[in-house]
Amino acid sequence: MFRDVQELENKLAEPSAELLSDLAAVDGDIMLLGVGGKMGPSMARLAVNAIKQAGLKKRVIGVARFSSEGLRNELEKSGVETIAADILNDNELQALPDVKNIIFMAGYKFGTTGNEHLTWAMNAYLPGRVADKFKNSRIVVFSTGNVYPLTPLTLGGATEQCSPAGNGEYGQSCLGRERVFEHFSHKYQIPMFIYRLNYAIDLRYGILQEVAKAVKEGKPIDITIGHANVIWQGDANEIALRALNNCSCPPKFMNVTGPETMSLRWAAGRFGEIFGVDPNLVGEEATTVLLSNSAIAMQTFGYPKVTLNEMIDWVGHWVLHDREDWKKETHYQEREGKY
């Protein structure tokens, strides 16, 4: 269990032996574009710690707008070099240094509805500009399981062989991101890894935190979307960094999430046991769901270090003690792709 944010951050930035080995096999520095998001800061710190422990000489550079100086100062104290830039501004993008390894995390999801033009600019136009700028790099591209359609629960989630069919403009624009990067990979022979993530879990946000809060507060939990995939953010960060050693041309596409198909009814029941209350469940589980099959990721990177039961225990303890809450909802209940 974690007593405070610092203990949580330390856990998220704890590298494995596999990460040390994979980063040692990758030449050049690492730049995270969009480091200011939910996963970026912990990933940057993880990269710095892994480089130090492996005795490597690599820089870790984080790029974001940094509207708040607090995060920038925290990252720099951790050993991350920072650059303040709006990469949708082409002059600022072109001014960035050429770096061998790029992790592209910039994107737009929440607020898509009513802002479709910005969604497409960020998710489908910007990737072309980034790929052209970093044509001599290897690039890990953050994407999402939202590029897949809803699939029957009995199939156990969409595999990488499933034809994409993004639900709503967010999912469609993310498929646009993938296709634009794929085009430039072919054009310039850029090694890439398309990282289709389904629900990273931190204690301060995520599906489990939302369900736990609702159970504790006695609020109704709609289980129409009754199943989900989750992965500990530390494991998701590790896979993103290790993916630098798995880039290829044409790009490698991979679902990144935990191995289980998690029942929200079951998870709510587990939180109910922790809090000593009965969950207030409403609705019935739909037969089609947004799920990803992560068998290839498990084969490539191994099973997550943090198990689903551990995540539930950690989140339950965190919520029980009213610890920090980012108040950033996942909208996992959305079936129409409107964010």
3-state secondary structure of 290: coil
146 contact partners, CB below 8 Å, separation of at least 6: 166, 167, 168, 170, 171, 174, 290, 337
Q: Backbone dihedral region of 288: left (phi > 0), alpha (psi from -120 to 50 degrees) or beta? A: beta
Dist CA 280 CA 10 (whole Å): 34
205: number of Cβ within 10 Å: 19
Structural contact between residues 242 and 22, judged by C-beta atoms closer than 8 angstroms: yes
Predicted TM-score (pTM) of the model is: 0.96
How far, in Å, are 10, 127, 190 from residue 90 at the CA level? 36, 12, 20
Tell me the pairing of strands 231-232 and 200-201: parallel
pLDDT tens for the chain, 339 residues long, are 899 999 999 999 999 999 999 999 999 999 999 999 999 999 999 999 999 999 999 999 999 999 877 999 999 999 999 999 999 999 999 999 999 999 999 988 766 678 899 999 999 999 999 999 999 999 999 999 999 999 999 999 999 999 999 878 899 999 999 999 999 999 999 999 999 999 999 999 999 999 999 999 999 999 999 999 999 999 999 999 999 999 999 999 999 999 999 999 999 999 999 999 999 999 999 999 999 999 999 999 999 999 999 999 999 999 999 999 998 888 787 777 676
Q: Which domains are seen in the chain, by residue range?
A: 5-200+232-257+291-301 (3.40.50.720)
Dist CA 196 CA 178 (whole Å): 10
Dist CA 304 CA 84 (whole Å): 33
How far, in Å, are 124, 254, 297 from residue 179 at the CA level? 8, 14, 21
